[in-house]
């Protein structure tokens, strides 16, 4: 006979291995002030222990360099809106590269955030207020000649490993953060002619723990030397296309070659908004003029039939977004995107195109996505637009499982 857990006093937690932990700081090693003209931040991370990337963050100050009244700036989504590219490098090899990083970071917060995370994003990263009925595309305002400091998690699979696994002891890598070289695209500027800013004192913080049990570390060292240490995470590959204005069928190339592609997510940002310094070039994404969509991978349609879309028929497309942008091991995300903003056609718009390609949602399983590396056949996004469509950039993000390996020499590699 089983007794309830509330009465099972023999059931208790096990003692953790003897260890010590500290919150480590890693500063940029190529300067302290960055801007669109000095736009690459490089931070070397060499922790003498196991690094917990799931609790890490980038800590930095945004300085509004404009001195006159009427020249403030608003964060375009949150404080990472100036980031164009994120990379993880080790010994000259790129382990992960995320282009249009600010756009992807905003999608993550918008679709995976839930209400509690929206409040946290507002407090730490300057994101839109979490209590709003419709989450806005603009965040905190920084007045003229003032500054604000933020602590933002980085949306990288290397740091956010499956099952919360730590980056192994002995790993050394560089975090490379590239600022958008066009200042007008970095923020929502009050005055489009005054777009001066700097990013100062960027630092990376992460908990690092050391295990003091000799037997455990001896076993770990033996495993490293014999077969290396592997861990996995979801990495994102970016493919950039464009569509013209007007009606037609648009076939956009997405030449993805992944061992396990879990989802494709596409964002249409109008050329007008991207070029407009006082509009939301990062946060706003529109479905204006879209009537049908589907992805074609190695000659097969995903989904099988085209998804119809209109302001009164958005449910199927929203469903694919909710599945494609779910957290690992979950079937659906907890979005903060209402129907109103999903179907909007102005600077408040938050419409997204996506398809879920996972076979299973079980977080204990690997290789649950589609193998696009097994074929050289072209992959495309097929859009059918009407006369209302406007010229837009189409950024497609391929979410793939990446497996990282650190060998006995401390050399790291990735397969994805």
CATH code for the domain in which residue 356 is found:
2.70.9.10
Q: Provide the sign of the torsion angle of the four alpha carbons 375, 381, 182, 107, taken in this order.
A: negative
CA distance 260 to 359: 10
User: Cα(130)–Cα(66) distance, rounded to whole angstroms?
Assistant: 28
Mean pLDDT over 347-362 rounds to 95
Q: How far is CA 107 from CA 267, 309, 376, 392, in A?
A: 9, 20, 29, 18
246-290 pLDDT tens trace? 999 999 999 999 999 999 999 999 999 999 999 999 999 999 999
Cα→Cα distances 308→237, 292, 294, 365, 383, Å: 26, 5, 9, 32, 10
Q: State the Cα–Cα distance between residues 67 and 71, nearest whole angstrom.
A: 7
Which residue in this structure is represented by tokens 């077969």?
Answer: 227
In a domain, 306, yes or no: yes
Q: What is the pLDDT at residue 117?
A: 85
Summarize the confidence of residues 395-413 as an average pLDDT.
96
Q: Which two tokens stand for residue 22?
A: 């500290």
8 found inside a domain: no
Q: What pLDDT score was predicted for residue 133? A: 63
Q: Is the pLDDT of residue 28 over 70?
A: yes
pLDDT digits (tens, 9 = 90+) for 171-187: 999 999 999 999 999 99
How far apart (Å, rounded) are the C-alpha atoms in residues 351 and 317? 9
pLDDT for 15:
87
What residues form DSSP beta bridges with 90?
93
pLDDT in tens, 121-142: 889 899 888 666 678 899 999 9
Q: What is the mean pLDDT of the chain?
A: 95
Domain hosting 343: range is 21-410
Three-class DSSP category at 34: strand
Q: What is the C-alpha separation between 187 and 79, in angstroms, rounded? A: 9
* Structural domain count, the chain: 1
Tell me how far apart the alpha carbons of residues 74 and 253 are, in angstroms, rounded to a whole number: 34
Q: Which residue has the tokens 């056609």?
A: 345
Q: What are phi and psi of 28, to 5 degrees?
A: -60, 140
Q: Is residue 398 part of a domain?
A: yes
What is the pLDDT at residue 392? 98
Contacts with 348 (C-beta within 8 Å, 6 or more apart), sequence order: 134, 136, 137, 284, 341
Of the candidates 174, 173, 150, 189, the one whose C-alpha atom is nearest the C-alpha of residue 36 is 189
- What's phi and psi for 215, nearest 5 deg? -65, -45
Is position 303 within any domain? Answer: yes
* 7 falls within a domain: no
Residue 172 in domain: yes
Quick: pLDDT tens for 368-390.
999 999 988 889 999 999 999 99
Q: Encode pLDDT of 80-113 as tens digits.
A: 999 999 999 999 999 999 999 999 999 999 998 7
**Mind listing the pLDDT tens digit for each residue in 210-227?**
999 999 999 999 999 999
Structural domain contains residue 130: yes
Percent of the chain with pLDDT over 90: 87
Residue 255 lies in a domain: yes
* The predicted structure's pLDDT at residue 34: 98
H-type alpha helices, 133-290: 214-227, 271-275
Stretch 6-22: mean pLDDT, rounded? Answer: 87
Place of tokens 């839109």: 128
């Amino acid at each position: 006979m089983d007794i309830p857990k509330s009465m099972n006093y023999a059931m208790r937690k096990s003692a953790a291995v003897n260890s010590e932990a500290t919150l480590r700081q890693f500063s940029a090693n190529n300067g302290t002030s960055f801007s669109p003209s000095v736009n690459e931040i490089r931070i070397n991370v060499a922790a003498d222990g196991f690094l917990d990337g799931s609790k890490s963050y980038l800590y930095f100050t945004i300085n509004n360099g404009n001195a006159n009244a009427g020249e403030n700036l608003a964060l375009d989504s949150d404080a990472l809106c100036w980031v164009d590219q994120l990379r993880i490098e080790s010994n000259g090899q790129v382990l992960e590269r995320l282009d249009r990083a600010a756009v992807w970071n905003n999608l993550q917060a918008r679709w995976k955030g839930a209400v509690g995370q929206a409040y946290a994003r507002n407090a730490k990263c300057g994101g839109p207020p979490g209590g709003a009925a419709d989450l806005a595309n603009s965040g905190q305002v920084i007045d003229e000649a003032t500054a604000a400091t933020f602590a933002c998690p980085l949306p990288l699979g290397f740091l956010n490993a499956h099952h919360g696994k730590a980056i192994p002891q002995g790993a050394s890598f560089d975090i490379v953060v590239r600022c958008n070289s066009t200042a007008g695209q970095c923020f929502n500027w009050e005055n489009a002619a005054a777009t001066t800013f700097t990013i100062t004192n960027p630092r990376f913080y992460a908990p690092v723990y050391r295990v003091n049990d000799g037997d455990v570390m001896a076993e770990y060292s033996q495993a490293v030397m014999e077969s290396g240490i592997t861990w996995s995470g979801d990495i994102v590959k970016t493919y950039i296309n464009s569509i013209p204005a007007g009606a037609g069928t648009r076939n956009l190339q997405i030449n993805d070659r992944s061992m396990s592609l879990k989802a494709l997510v596409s964002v249409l940002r109008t050329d007008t908004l991207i070029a407009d310094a006082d509009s939301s070039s990062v946060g706003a994404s529109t479905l204006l003029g879209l009537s049908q969509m589907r992805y074609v991978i190695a000659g097969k349609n995903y989904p099988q039939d085209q998804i119809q879309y209109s302001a009164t028929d958005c449910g199927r497309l929203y469903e694919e977004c909710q599945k494609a942008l779910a957290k690992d091991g979950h079937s659906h995300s907890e979005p903060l995107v209402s129907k109103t903003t999903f179907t909007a056609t102005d600077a408040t718009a938050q419409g997204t195109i996506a398809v879920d390609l996972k076979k299973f949602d079980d977080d204990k399983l690997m290789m649950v996505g589609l193998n696009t590396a097994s074929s050289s056949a072209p992959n495309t996004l097929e859009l059918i637009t009407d006369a209302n469509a406007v010229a837009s950039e189409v950024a497609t993000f391929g979410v793939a499982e990446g497996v990282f390996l650190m060998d006995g020499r401390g050399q790291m590699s990735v397969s994805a």
